[in-house]
């Protein structure tokens, strides 16, 4: 059984939605299916054209959060012979994974990617309502996770936070989501810069534009820099409109490139002088890892998982979260030390290898069996 494991992976968010979870689930399945057995993915149906190992279930748009779909907790026939069930979320599709594991009496693994309470403000518009809703979903999340035989946290910081909220008897292991180092590497950027009319010193971010990520801090910090820079954003999300408003009023050049193709991301990262990452709520910060793998230093909040993702003084600089002056100082230091930090990124990039992640994942599965 342990030679060619069949894994059923369940996720409530998947392609074509762009975020760390979707890319992680897709990358893990591709690697697993190439080398170790069969990993099937169950996800909410969308306009993504499924591959042979991907099985959509009926869903409808979620009114409170663009890009998310609420799915029917259905278990496709094709995944009902799994040796392991692995849920990457704990909403309807993730719960279907737990039901399948119970029915088959096989190990149930949960990857903890995103605290559900982060989305409270999107669902409930009032501060008191959002607080109550956030507390409720946090309790639900903890109790649901406690159904797992193993919980995987992408960083030590996330493991500590999770350990404080769930039953201490539930094993939690740190397992990085990893980065495809063959894809994310330093590349020539002349065509990319010409395509998007970019020049000069570039500071930027790509990924989901969520309010909790405080992306406006990057614009405000860049305004205070002595050096003239252009702030470049890739991606999209609920906070895009507000972020555009801040950019329009800013005393600095701000560009929005929109959603970038996956093949463009190495060019985007490589084109930047500094990747700005003001989010204080990351469970790992995959886009920061991708930037480092491309040789681009990261300036990020000294909070959450970025405390591990960014090696201070080696791959970038961390600063006091939510402090615009502190971020400005860190950006100035990173620009001054750019060449040294770039070398540090290229030396450190192998630490993020997704190939190592997959081998460790297999070991965890075998231990459970």
Looking up residue 279, the CATH number of its domain turns out to be 3.40.50.2000
Residues 196 and 79 reside in one and the same domain: no
Closest CA to 193 of 259, 273, 278, 299: 273
How far is it, in rounded angstroms, from Cα 69 to Cα 13?
7
313 is a domain residue? yes
- For residue 55, cis peptide bond before it (omega within 30 degrees of 0): no
185 is a domain residue? no
Contact 315, 344 (CB under 8 A): yes
Residues 12 and 160 reside in one and the same domain: yes
State pLDDT tens for residues 17-57.
Answer: 878 899 999 999 999 999 899 999 999 999 999 999 999 99
Q: Give the per-residue pLDDT at 128.
A: 65
Residues 360 and 342 reside in one and the same domain: no
How far is it, in rounded angstroms, from Cα 138 to Cα 267?
38
Q: Give the per-residue pLDDT at 17.
A: 84
Parent domain of 83:
5-113+146-178+353-368
At 127, is the pLDDT very low, low, confident or very high (cuts 50, 70, 90)?
A: low
User: 0.85 exceeded by the pTM?
Assistant: yes
For the chain, percent of residues with pLDDT exceeding 70 = 92
State pLDDT tens for residues 78-87.
Answer: 999 999 999 9
DSSP H or E segment with residue 194: helix 190-196
Residues 104 and 225 reside in one and the same domain: no
Q: Give the per-residue pLDDT at 140.
A: 78
């Amino acid at each position: 059984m342990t030679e060619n494991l069949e894994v059923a992976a369940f996720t409530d968010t998947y392609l074509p939605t762009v975020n760390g979870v979707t890319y992680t689930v897709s990358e893990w399945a591709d690697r697993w299916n190439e080398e170790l057995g069969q990993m099937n993915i169950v996800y909410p149906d969308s306009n993504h054209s499924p591959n042979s190992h991907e099985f959509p279930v009926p869903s409808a748009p979620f009114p409170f959060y663009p890009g998310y779909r609420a799915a029917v907790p259905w278990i496709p026939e094709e995944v009902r012979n799994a040796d392991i069930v692995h849920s990457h979320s704990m909403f309807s599709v993730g719960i279907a994974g737990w039901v399948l594991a119970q029915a088959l009496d096989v190990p149930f693994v949960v990857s903890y990617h995103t605290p559900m309470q982060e989305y409270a403000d999107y669902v409930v518009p009032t501060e008191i309502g959002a607080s109550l809703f956030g507390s409720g979903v946090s309790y639900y999340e903890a109790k649901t996770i406690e159904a797992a035989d193993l919980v995987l946290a992408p960083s030590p910081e996330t493991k500590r936070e999770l350990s404080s909220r769930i039953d201490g008897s539930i094993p939690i292991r740190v397992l990085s989501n990893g980065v495809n180092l063959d894809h994310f590497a330093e590349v020539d950027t002349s065509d990319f810069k010409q395509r998007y009319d970019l020049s000069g010193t570039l500071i930027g971010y790509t990924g989901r534009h969520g309010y909790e990520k405080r992306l406006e801090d990057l614009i405000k910090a860049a305004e205070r820099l002595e050096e003239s820079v252009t702030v470049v954003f890739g991606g999209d999300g609920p906070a895009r409109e507000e972020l555009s408003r801040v950019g329009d009023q800013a005393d600095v050049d701000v560009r929005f490139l929109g959603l970038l193709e996956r093949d463009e991301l190495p060019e985007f990262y490589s084109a930047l002088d500094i990747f700005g990452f003001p989010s204080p709520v990351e469970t790992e910060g995959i886009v920061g890892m991708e930037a480092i793998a491309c040789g681009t230093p990261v300036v990020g909040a000294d909070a959450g998982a970025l405390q591990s993702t960014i090696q201070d003084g080696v791959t970038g600089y961390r600063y006091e979260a939510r402090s615009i002056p502190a971020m400005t100082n860190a950006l100035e230091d990173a620009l001054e030390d750019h060449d040294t930090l770039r070398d540090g990124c290229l030396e450190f990039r192998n630490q993020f290898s997704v190939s190592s992640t997959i081998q460790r994942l297999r070991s965890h599965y075998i231990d459970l069996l």
